[in-house]
Chain A
Amino acid sequence: MSAGSLRVLIVEDEAFIALELECLLEEAGHVPVGVAARAAEAVAMGRDLAPDVALVDIHLADGPTGVTVARALSARPGTTVLFTTANAKRVPDDFAGAAGIIAKPYSERVIRAALAYVAGRYHGGTPAEVPDGVVLAPGDRGDGAARTDLPA
Chain B
Amino acid sequence: MIVLDAPRQAEASLVRAADAPSDAPFSDAPFLAAFRASEAPMVMTDPALPDNPIVFANPAFCHLTGYAADEVVGRNCRFLQGPGTDPSDVARVREAVGRGEPLRIDMLNYRKDGRPFWNAMTLTAVRDEAGAIRSYFAVLTDVTGTKQAERALAREKDGLAQDVEARNLALQAALDQQTALLHEVDHRVKNNLQVISSLMLLKARRSRDPACRDVLRSMADRIGALATVHRLLYSLSDVGRFDLRDFAADFAADLEAGLDPDRIALTVDVEAVAVTASMAAPLALLVHELAVNAVRHAFPGERHGRVTITARRRDDSLVLEVSDDGIGLPADIDNPEGFGRDLVAMLVRQLRGRLAFEDLGPGTRAQVVLPLGPGH
> Which residues of A pack against B, CB within 8 Å?
14, 16-17, 19-21, 23-24, 59, 86-87, 89, 103-109, 112, 132-133, 149-152
Which residues from 148 to 201 on chain B have a C-beta closer than 8 Å to any C-beta of chain A?
A: 183, 186-187, 190-191, 193-195, 197-199, 201
B231 touches A104 (CB 8 A): yes
B187 touches A87 (CB 8 A): yes
Chain B residue nearest to A58 (CB atoms) is B187
* Known pairs A105-B224, A109-B257; A20 contacts B231 (CB<8 A): no
Chain B nearest Cβ from A64, distance in angstroms: 10
A14 touches B254 (CB 8 A): no
A107 touches B202 (CB 8 A): no
List, in ascending order, chain B residues with CB within 8 A of A89's CB: 183
Complex Cα spacing A104 to B197, Å = 11
* Known pairs A14-B194, A104-B191, A109-B257; A151 contacts B202 (CB<8 A): no
Chain B residue nearest to A86 (CB atoms) is B190
List, in ascending order, chain B residues with CB within 8 A of A24's CB: 201
The 21 listed contacts between A and B (C-beta, < 8 Å) are A14-B195, A17-B195, A19-B198, A20-B197, A20-B198, A20-B199, A24-B201, A86-B186, A86-B191, A86-B194, A87-B187, A89-B183, A103-B231, A104-B193, A105-B193, A105-B230, A109-B254, A112-B257, A132-B250, A151-B234, A152-B235
A151 touches B187 (CB 8 A): no
Q: Is B119 an interface residue (CB 8 A)?
A: no
* Known pairs A16-B202, A20-B198, A23-B202; A109 contacts B253 (CB<8 A): yes
Q: Is B228 an interface residue (CB 8 A)?
A: yes
Known contacts A103-B231, A105-B190, A152-B234; can you find 12 more A-B pairs with CB under 8 A?
A: A16-B199, A17-B194, A21-B198, A23-B205, A59-B187, A87-B187, A104-B231, A105-B194, A105-B224, A105-B228, A132-B253, A151-B235
Chain A residue nearest to B255 (CB atoms) is A109
> Which residues of B pack against A, CB within 8 Å?
183, 186-187, 190-191, 193-195, 197-199, 201-202, 205, 224, 227-228, 230-232, 234-236, 249-250, 253-254, 257-258
List, in ascending order, chain B residues with CB within 8 A of A106's CB: 194
Chain A nearest Cβ from B317, distance in angstroms: 29
Complex Cα spacing A16 to B202, Å = 8
Return the contact of B194 from the options A104, A133, A149 (Cβ within 8 A).
Answer: A104
B231 touches A105 (CB 8 A): yes
Complex Cα spacing A103 to B190, Å = 9
List, in ascending order, chain B residues with CB within 8 A of A21's CB: 198
B249 touches A132 (CB 8 A): yes
A19 touches B202 (CB 8 A): yes
* Known pairs A86-B194, A152-B235; A108 contacts B183 (CB<8 A): no
